[in-house]
Amino acid sequence: MRKYLEALITEKGRELDDAITIPGHYGLTWEVLIDYIENNATDHHAEIKKMLVMIDFKNGDVFHYLTHLATGMIKAMGYDV
């Protein structure tokens, strides 16, 4: 999953250490999200990849979905404000 996400993000023109812009949360990067998905969302890898493939196939914005996942990560970790 890690290699897939890293390749997808960099192929779409972003760096892994680029910030994810979510109001009130600083220091959040694509690398942080990848780490979380890799280690804490193992039961959801298949559905996450399926959704990203579908969005990419339809020329959609994969970063919209990845930001949605980052928002979920923040809530799951209890950091939502």
Q: Number of folded domains in the chain?
A: 1
- Assess if residue 59 is contained within a domain: yes
Answer whether 22's CB lies under 8 Å from 28's CB.
yes
- Assess if residue 33 is contained within a domain: yes
**Percentage of the chain exceeding pLDDT 90:** 88
- Assess if residue 49 is contained within a domain: yes
Residue 27 β-bridge partners: none
- Assess if residue 81 is contained within a domain: no
- Assess if residue 37 is contained within a domain: yes
Q: Given the structure tokens 């996400």, which residue do they identify?
A: 5
Instruction: Give, rounded to a whole angstrom, the gap between the first and last alpha carbons of the chain.
Output: 29
Which alpha helices (DSSP H) does the chain contain, by range?
2-11, 30-40, 45-57, 62-76
CA 8 – CA 12 distance, rounded (Å) = 6
pLDDT classification of 63: cutoffs 50, 70, 90:
very high
Query: pTM of the full predicted structure?
Result: 0.92
pLDDT classification of 81: cutoffs 50, 70, 90:
low
- Domain of residue 45: give its range: 2-76
- Assess if residue 23 is contained within a domain: yes
* pLDDT(45) > 70: yes
